[in-house]
Amino acid sequence: MNDITLGQVVLIVLLVLLAIFVVSVLFRSIRIVPQATAGVVERLGKYHKTLQPGLNLLVPFIDRMRPLLDMREQVVSFPPQPVITEDNLVVSIDTVVYFQVTDARAATYEIANYLGAVEQLTTTTLRNVVGGLNLEEALTSRDNINAQLRVVLDEATGKWGIRVGRVELKAIDPPLSIQDSMEKQMRAERDRRAQILTAEGTKQAAILEAEGSRQAAILSAEGDAKAAVLRAEGEAQAITTVFGAIHAGNPDAPLLAYQYLQTLPKIAEGEASKLWIIPSELTESLKSIAAGFVGGGAGAAATKDPGAR
């Protein structure tokens, strides 16, 4: 009875060990690769294949899978790097690199640490590119520097199974002394622009004011000219009307003399009238009026006393 019990125990132990072995084999045979990742499989120490996302089967104890690689685009910000420009000024430059692993095999076997390699390559390339520019060009040519860095990095990292999408310069910080000088220069430039704008505004205001005065003078002169023309036309029409009325009435010399006498007070109203010119027709008309009055008086006397002779 004891021997049977011992055999059963041994059998149970063997079954348990077999179950553990089977589970271990299954665990080592089945690999689930998440999305956006890739796994490199080595068979007996040699590259065998690259696992794609999903369920994958391996040969236990023969195949070994390396750590998974992230196949998404990655953004890495590197610490500020001191760079010497062409005019011997040290500037601190922060860079950001956007890259993506496109070949898991190359990223595993062609380079030991692709992230560190990208950082060092970025620093070296940045120093080469910015070293050929002066400070002003480096500050104003960020797009050009970014393009050059991307081309160089993409070409160098292509054999590592890495594609560099973008390289951005976050900041370019010149020395403090240069920053003070630049601030003074920018302040002076702003003051100069403000003075120019003020002068331009004053100039435009003066031009507009002069133009307005000129237009006003032109309009006033045109108004005076039109008024003078209208007055002259009115006086001409009045003279024509009076002349026509006089000739139509066939006036005699006494009537003309009477009109002259009515006009004299109006001539005397002017303060500048110091000298009067009496036409000869007026004197002749006055003689006719006087003769008329004298003749009229004598006739009346004769009528009143005919026998006085």
pLDDT of residue 47: 92
What distance in Å separates the CA atoms of residue 183 and residue 180, rounded to the nearest whole number?
5
Whether 144 shows a pLDDT value over 60: the answer reads yes
Average confidence score pLDDT of the chain: 79
Confidence of residue 252 (pLDDT cuts 50, 70, 90): low
Which stretches of 134-279 are DSSP H helices?
135-140, 142-157, 176-249, 253-268
Predicted TM-score (pTM) of this structure: 0.53
Instruction: Let me know: does 135 contact 207? Beta carbons within 8 Å.
Output: no
Structure-token match 């999903």, residue found: 54
pLDDT of residue 270: 57
CA neighbor of 173 nearest in space, from 76, 80, 77: 80
Q: Which domains does the chain have, with CATH numbers?
A: 2-69 (no CATH), 72-174 (3.30.479.30)
Confidence of residue 38 (pLDDT cuts 50, 70, 90): very high
84's tokens = 């010497």
Give 244 or 70, the one with higher predicted confidence. Answer: 70
Amino acid at 210: A
Mapped onto helix, strand or coil, the DSSP state of residue 103 is coil
For 184-238, the pLDDT digits (tens) are 777 788 888 888 988 888 888 889 888 888 888 888 888 888 888 888 888 778 7
CA neighbor of 108 nearest in space, from 35, 28, 156, 39: 39
pLDDT of residue 222: 86
Average pLDDT over residues 133-159: 87
Whether 269 shows a pLDDT value over 80: the answer reads no
Query: Hey, how many other C-beta atoms are within 10 angstroms of the C-beta on 115?
Result: 14
